Amino acid sequence: MRAEFRRSSARGATPPTLGLYDIACLAGGPQRVVETALIALSERGVVVVRRARVRAVGGTDGDRPVEPIEPIERALLGLCPRIVRADVVFGELMGGRAVAEIERRLVSYGLLTSHRRRPTRVGRRHLEAVREGGEFPAYVFDGPAAVPDRVLRRAVWEAAPEPSDPGWRVMWTGVALAPDDDTDSGGHPGCGSDGGHGCGGGGHGCGGGGGGGGD
């Protein structure tokens, strides 16, 4: 799954292509990237998430999917050849090289701010367009609240940490807004999910609300 991004100022340039984890980072920061990796690998039968533990299943080569494995997925699998605590997985990956590279790439495209790694106005517009395109699964935008499988949804909710950065707490249709973001997205209602890391619910959820102030 890839989404083409066109920057209006780059006339004649080949537009970069954003993948699953680029969109996840734009929608919810490093934590959403790790959540997305856990969900995607669980759906493909590569890992099992239960009781705040993560376990890789199957063989090391032949039993894993033949499709390309992204750097964040390789990093995750490298942490859990056996059962490992979910807080270790989140802690290692959120501050790791794979996530840092995703953020660096999004900054270079003008989709994240360079200092605080917040979505820019262009980044939010692109994220909204990608969501409307329907190419990516809903959990990329809304987190575990959008996972159809109830068991997996609850497992990832329980595994993920409470977001510590208030810059990602105010959500609008899955787009993470910082307190110092620009005001053109203000006044939009929060998402109506019923819990977890999705917008508007209890548990780890972010309370719905409008955007804050300037890029």
Instruction: Render 18-83 in DSSP notation, one character per residue.
Output: EEHHHHHHHHHHHHHHHHHHHHHHHHTTSEEEETTEEEE-S-SSTTS-SSPPPHHHHHHHHH-SS-
**Structural domain range at position 81:** 2-6+15-165
Residue 200 lies in a domain: no
Residue 183 lies in a domain: no
**Which of 202, 197, 215 is CA-nearest to residue 27?**
197
Residue 25 lies in a domain: yes
**H or E stretch at 88:** helix 86-94
pLDDT: which is higher, 192 or 2: 2
pLDDT: which is higher, 64 or 88: 88
27 pLDDT higher than 90: yes
Q: How confident is the model at residue 51 (pLDDT cuts 50, 70, 90)?
A: confident
The whole-number pLDDT of residue 186 equals: 38
The whole-number pLDDT of residue 199 equals: 38
Residue 127 lies in a domain: yes
pLDDT: which is higher, 36 or 209: 36
**Number of domains comprising the chain:** 1
The whole-number pLDDT of residue 160 equals: 86
Q: Model confidence over 127-186: pLDDT tens digits?
A: 999 999 999 999 999 999 999 999 999 999 988 887 655 555 444 334 444 433 443 333
Q: Model confidence over 66-125: pLDDT tens digits?
A: 455 899 999 999 998 889 999 999 999 999 999 999 999 999 999 999 988 899 999 999
Residue 65 lies in a domain: yes
Helix (H, G, I), strand (E, B) or coil at 194: coil
The whole-number pLDDT of residue 84 equals: 92
Residue 205 lies in a domain: no
The whole-number pLDDT of residue 63 equals: 54
Residue 178 lies in a domain: no
Residue 186 lies in a domain: no
The whole-number pLDDT of residue 104 equals: 96
201 pLDDT higher than 60: no
The whole-number pLDDT of residue 67 equals: 57
Q: What are phi and psi of 106, to 5 degrees?
A: -65, -35
